[in-house]
Structure formats: C-alpha cells, structure tokens
Amino acid sequence: MKRRNFITSAAAASVGVMACKTASGAEITTINETELKNNINHSACRWCYNDIPFEELLQHFNTLGIKAIDLVGPEEWPLMKKYNIHASMCWGAGKGILEGWNDPKLHEELIADYKQMIPRVAEAGYTNLICFSGNRNGMNDLVGLHNCVEGLKQIVPLAEEHGVVLQMELLNSKVDHKDYMCDNSLWGIELCRRLGSDNFKLLYDIYHMQIMEGDVIRNIQEYHQYYGHYHTGGNPGRHEIDETQELYYPAIMKAIIETGFKGHVAQEFIPTWEDKIAALKQGITICDV
C-alpha cells in the first residue's frame, strides 16, 4: 500500500468512517463527526477547492464534520446557511492583499467599504472580517504602521458596536507575497497594541510565519492574545500538512488549545492529491487532537 493511502486510511480509522453520496451521486468515505474530539473548531478555506462546485463542497463539509468555511463573501452566505455552515472568516471589503491600510490615499475608499461590510457581517450572524496591510512600495515600516493606525481607528469603533473582529492576515513576503508589509508577528502585534481593541486581531497563518520567523509554538504561547484566527499549510510548498513537510501540526494544535483559544483553525493548504476531499479529511484528522 502506498504510504499516502496508508496514512489516510489510518487517520480515518482513528476517528471512525461512514459512506455517503453527494447530490451528484458520487460516493465518498467520510469522517464520523461524532468521533471527532472537536477541541479544535475546524474550518477550511474556500479558494483551495475552487474547482469543486460550492454546494457539493458544503455537502462534503457536512459529512466531514467541518462546521465552518473561510474566505467567503455575502454572495455565498445563503447557500452556506442551507447547509448550516458558518462563515469563520468573511471577506468582501477592501482592495485585496496588495493595496491596504498602510496607504493613506486609500483610506477614504477603504473606510467607506468596511463601514458598509461590517454591519452586513454582523447581520448575517458572523464575527470575523479580514483585512490587509498592503505592500510596502518603498514605504518605511514605521510609517506604514502609523498609516494603518490612522485608517483603522476610524472603523474599529463600528466593529466594536457590531461585535465584528477585524483580522489582519500575517503573510510571508519571502515566497508568496513579495513586499507585503504585515509579514511578521511583532509588527502586527504593535499595530494591535496601538489600536487597543479586542475587535482588532491578527490572522496567524502558520505556513506564512514558519517561512518568515519560525518558532511557531513559542510565538503562539507568548502572543496568543493578539491572534484571533489560524490558518494551516505545509511548508515547503503550502501543500498537505502530513509527513511530507517540516511542521508537526499535532503539537501546534495542542499549543493552540492550551492557550484557551475558542475560535477556528482553517485548513489552507493546496491539495496535491487527486482526491482533494481525502486530503482535506487527512488534514482535519491530523489537527483533531
């Protein structure tokens, strides 16, 4: 038996499996969610499975015991409610990763955009809304930090009013997002400190921060109060989080649990397996500590 197939089969056996079919008639072997420990609130990012029709993906989430999905906007929320899948990280505001809050020329547009989206997120019953620093484009990091504070402080009170948490994602600027400013924990933490609100947190992407700073478990232990959400991903390559990469996710998940974290951990690896749902199932079982 191939090692990959063995690992997948063994992981499935450890939590129990069941067989079912999607609406299209495809048979899938799924996790019996009653066997999941659920010390981790499991989620997964929509974009990693864009080639799977959204409704079919939600059906897979139901059978895998995944109760939330990341990086989804208002156009997707109605179908998610049909399948009782929560939006653990919303998007739909802002101009994307490259152009963000560090550029004061964008503040007027960004403020208007987020002021429209924050109430929509709250009305839909969700909490987290993503945001980005933007690229440096020659800007000094301290100047960018000041600019982010000046812009974000104009929408944080609205987020507080509606119970929405703005989450700025930590991304690597070495491999995937060259020149991105919020590329290390300490810069992001200083931004959190200056804003001084529980409604502004950092989205700690484990894959990205392994590339930029490493020491993942120690940083989670020391700075967890500033991290409002987590993403997974295998390094190198941002693929499966199994023995093919350098991070040991069971230990990382235990560290997250020990901080008392009650939010979501979203799988954000790019599957290399032909059966992407099997790869996702393996990721969930690895993280279900």
Taking only the tens place, the pLDDT of each residue in 137-178 is: 999 999 999 999 999 999 999 999 999 999 999 999 999 999
For each of the domains in the chain, give its residue range(s) and CATH number, in order of start: 39-287 (3.20.20.150)
Q: What is the mean pLDDT of residues 189-217?
A: 98
Reply yes or no on whether the pLDDT at 25 is more than 70.
no
Number of continuous H segments (helices) and E segments (strands) in the chain: 11, 10
Cα Rg of the chain (Å, integer): 19
Question: What are the C-alpha distances in Å from 206 to residues 32, 65, 77, 167, 214?
Answer: 27, 22, 26, 15, 9
Report the range of poorest mean pLDDT among 7-11, 31-35, 284-288: 7-11
Residue 38's pLDDT band, with cuts at 50, 70 and 90, is confident
Tokens of 158: 């609205």
Of 207 and 30, which is predicted with more confidence? 207
When pLDDT is cut at 50, 70 and 90, the band that residue 35 belongs to is confident
Q: Are 170 and 182 in contact, with CB atoms under 8 Å apart?
A: yes
DSSP code of 181?
A: S
In degrees rounded to 5, what are phi and psi of residue 28? -130, 145
**Res 105 pLDDT > 80:** yes
Share of the chain above pLDDT 70, in %: 88
* 33 pLDDT more than 80: no
The confidence score (pLDDT) of residue 183 equals 98
- Please determine, for residue 75, whether its predicted confidence score (pLDDT) is greater than 70: yes
Whole-number pLDDT of residue 32: 55
Measure CA 89 to chain center: 7
User: What is the spatial distance between Cα 171 and Cα 183, in angstroms, rounded to a whole number?
Assistant: 5
Model confidence at 116: pLDDT above 90: yes
H or E element, residue 21: strand 17-21
- Name the least confident of 23-32, 88-97, 200-209, 213-222: 23-32
Q: State mean pLDDT over 252-278.
A: 98
- Check whether 198 has a pLDDT greater than 50: yes
CA angle 245, 236, 212 (to 5 degrees): 120
pLDDT band, very low/low/confident/very high, at 30 (cuts 50, 70, 90): low
pLDDT at 112 over 60: yes
Closest CA to 203 of 190, 218, 189: 189
Pick from 226, 218, 211, 202: nearest CA to 252: 218
pTM of the model: 0.89
- pLDDT exceeds 60 at position 10: no
Torsions phi, psi for 2 (to 5 deg): -65, 145
Write the pLDDT tens digit of every residue in 49-59.
999 999 999 99
Mean of pLDDT over the chain? 91
Query: What pLDDT does residue 151 have?
Result: 98
> What pLDDT shows up at residue 85?
98
